[in-house]
Structures are given as structure tokens and as C-alpha cells.
Chains A and B, each alone.
Chain A
Amino acid sequence: MEAHELLSRVVAGDERAWNELVGRFAGLVWSVARSFRLSSAATDDVVQTVWLRLAEHCGRIREPDRLASWLATTTRNESLRVIRGNVRLTPQDAFDETSDLTASSIEDRVTDDDTLRAVLKAFAQLSADDQALLRLLCAVPPLDYETIAETLGRPIGSIGPTRARCLERLRRLLPSGYDPKEGLR
């Protein structure tokens, strides 16, 4: 089902359609929020604000086919609000082990797959700007360059070339012999 059909069911009060919508776009909202490197508590609150906002706005979205873009823009705006606004966040359990979301800790939290570990280790060594761009490029479903540019506050023409340079930097940080198709040899 297309996003706009799902959305019109949501507007009509179909809670299953809402749950499907959340399932489909939760990863995208999460990727955008994480690209702003907020604390765990702030990330959770930003994401929840976006979903609450959508629940209230679902009948007013002007271009339902561009829901991914609407979600990304709303997530960006709420993230910037948190960064600038000194907001009051929902307290989290201090011992929540997922609280440490710094990039350098990521590769420790997975995985016995050597290829993924190598890629994550390389990712963690990239600059904050590179990581933000890559997170947006890895959003599922994918974001168009226009939305990525808007989220990063950069010109749209810069995204393609920056993507290429950024991936080149990532590649250089990978162990020699790495092949994205074959994995580590």
C-alpha cells in the first residue's frame, strides 16, 4: 500500500494502518534524529514528539506522497529545538544500557559479523558531519537529496559530491581486502 493510502486510512481512524505506518517509517525518523547526535533521552523525546505531531496532523499533510520528507523535516526541526531550547526531557533510567549512543560505542554493541563490525568501526572514526550524512543516506525508506540537503542545511548540489568523498573516506578506514559484496576476505 502506498504511503498516501495508508495515511488516508489513518485519518479515517484505522489504528492498524497507523501501526503499519509506524513500522514502515520508524527507522527513517530514528535515522534522522540520530544524525543530530542528541542524548538518548532527547532522541526518544524528539521521536515521540514527531509521532504525536503526525497523529494530529495526518489529515492536514499537503503532499501525502512526500510523507517521508514531512517526517524528516519535522524530526530535524524538533531536534534543533532541543539543541537550542533547553527543553525538559523525560527522565531515563540511568542504567539503561542503550543510553550511550555515542558513535564510538556503537560497534561494541554488535555483532559477530566481521564485515559489519569493520564497517561500524570505520564509521565511528568519521567526522560528525560525515556520520550525519551517511545516516541520512542509509535511511529506510530512502530520503531524496532535496530532503537530505534541507536536513543538513546544505545546498542540494553538494550532496552527491559530498556523498562520494564521504564514502571514499569510509573506504580508506576499512581493512585492506574489504569488498562490500564479498565482505572481508
Chain B
Amino acid sequence: MTRPDDDLIAVLTTALRTADPVPARVLHAARGAYTWRTIDAELAELVFDSASELTGVRSEDQARQVTFQAPGIEIEVMVVDGSTRRIVGQLVPAQESTIELTGADRAVATTSDDLGRFTFDEVLPGPVRISVVGDGNTPTVHTDWVLL
């Protein structure tokens, strides 16, 4: 590592920050992210995503599969490509619950059936999370935010 190299990095750093700064809209949204924080809910962490698997065939023709896990519950989600891009989900173990899909500016709700299956007709755009709403005895479980 030489001084001229460090000097050039310093100039380029200034140049990139001047030409390509973090847009105000991005900063504004980032500050607002804190208001989505949940305190008394369980977090189901993203444990599998077929889109981040490096192995195997590029799965353009296959539905994307994503799995979230919290203590005692797993939420499996399949995004079915096509004109509408539906979400087909499965709770493990199966349970009937209110399920919410939350995006930046709206949320939609449905109910899982007695086999734990649920469907949303379309993916909301941008970062979303899925919530299994608690019933008083069990806490609400939110998944990690994810782009689907």
C-alpha cells in the first residue's frame, strides 16, 4: 500500500460521493425504517432462499422458495411466477391463523386453513414481511423483511 494509491483513493472517494451521493429519498426511508421495529413479537428469521443458493441450475423456470424460522414455527413461502406473482404459503406445524403481508404503504390479510396453507394473490412491491398474528395466548410472529 503506497501513499500515492491512498491519495488517489481519497480523491475518488470524494468524487463518488459528489457524483453519486445517497439520495435524500433513500436517507428519508432509512430513518423511517426504525418505526417498523417490533418489540413484543417473535422474529422468524430467513433461513433458506432458493434465490441465494449458489449451487444447481439457475432457477428461472422454478418458483422461488423462501423459508423463515422462529422457535416453534416455520413459515414456508413459494412465489409463483406468472402474470400475477402469487404467494403460496405453509405454516409448519399447521395452524389456522390470521396471516398478514405487509409492504411499505399497505398491508393485506388472509387466513390460513386447517392444513396451515395460505395464499396472497399478488406480491406487494418492495420490502415485505409476513406476520402470523397471535391470538392472545401466542405472540405474533413477524418474518424478516425480504424482497419477494
Task: Give the B-binding residues of A (Cβ under 8 A).
Answer: 10, 13, 15, 18-19, 22-23, 26-27, 29-31, 34, 44-49, 51-58, 60, 77-78, 80-82, 84-91, 98, 101, 106-107, 109-111, 113, 115-116, 119-120, 123, 134-135, 137-138, 140, 160, 163-164, 167, 170-171, 180-181
Identify A167's interface contact among B9, B17, B31, B142, CB under 8 A: B9
Chain B residues with Cβ under 8 A from A106's Cβ?
16, 19-20
Chain B residues with Cβ under 8 A from A137's Cβ?
9
Contact of A101 with B20 in the complex, beta carbons under 8 Å:
yes
Q: Which of B33-41, B90-98, B111-119, B132-140 contacts A (4 or more CB under 8 A)?
A: B33-41
Cα distance A17–B102 when bound, in Å?
Answer: 26
Identify B33's interface contact among A23, A48, A89, CB under 8 A: A48
Contact of A119 with B33 in the complex, beta carbons under 8 Å:
no
Identify A47's interface contact among B9, B30, B148, CB under 8 A: B30
Identify A180's interface contact among B7, B17, B129, CB under 8 A: B7
Contact of A51 with B29 in the complex, beta carbons under 8 Å:
yes
Report, nearest first, the 6 A-B pairs whose CB atoms are least far apart. Answer: A85-B51, A90-B126, A180-B7, A51-B33, A52-B145, A87-B147
Contact of A90 with B125 in the complex, beta carbons under 8 Å:
yes
CB distance from A118 to the nearest CB of B (A): 9
Cα distance A98–B146 when bound, in Å?
Answer: 24
- Looking at chain B, what size class is its interface with the partner chain? 35 or more
Contact of A89 with B43 in the complex, beta carbons under 8 Å:
no
Identify B52's interface contact among A52, A58, A81, A138, CB under 8 A: A81
Given A30-B26, A51-B29, A110-B15, 6 further pairs, Cβ under 8 A: A13-B39, A18-B31, A44-B26, A55-B36, A88-B126, A138-B16
Cα distance A11–B145 when bound, in Å?
Answer: 18
Contact of A180 with B10 in the complex, beta carbons under 8 Å:
yes
Identify A88's interface contact among B26, B34, B37, B124, CB under 8 A: B124
Cα distance A34–B104 when bound, in Å?
Answer: 22
The prevalent SS among residues of A at the interface is: helix
Chain A residues with Cβ under 8 A from B148's Cβ?
85, 87-88
Could you list 27 A-B pairs, sorted by A, with CB under 8 Å? A18-B31, A22-B27, A22-B31, A31-B16, A34-B20, A44-B23, A48-B127, A49-B145, A51-B30, A53-B144, A55-B33, A56-B37, A80-B52, A84-B51, A84-B52, A86-B60, A87-B51, A88-B124, A88-B148, A106-B19, A109-B19, A116-B15, A123-B15, A138-B16, A140-B17, A164-B2, A167-B5
> Would A56 and B144 be within 8 Å (CB), given that A26-B22, A48-B33, A85-B49 are in contact?
yes
Chain A residues with Cβ under 8 A from B104's Cβ?
48, 90
Chain B residues with Cβ under 8 A from A51's Cβ?
29-30, 33
Contact of A119 with B34 in the complex, beta carbons under 8 Å:
no
Chain B residues with Cβ under 8 A from A27's Cβ?
17, 22
Contact of B5 with A19 in the complex, beta carbons under 8 Å:
no
Instruction: Decide yes or no whether B25 CB sits under 8 A from chain A.
Output: yes
Contact of A54 with B33 in the complex, beta carbons under 8 Å:
yes
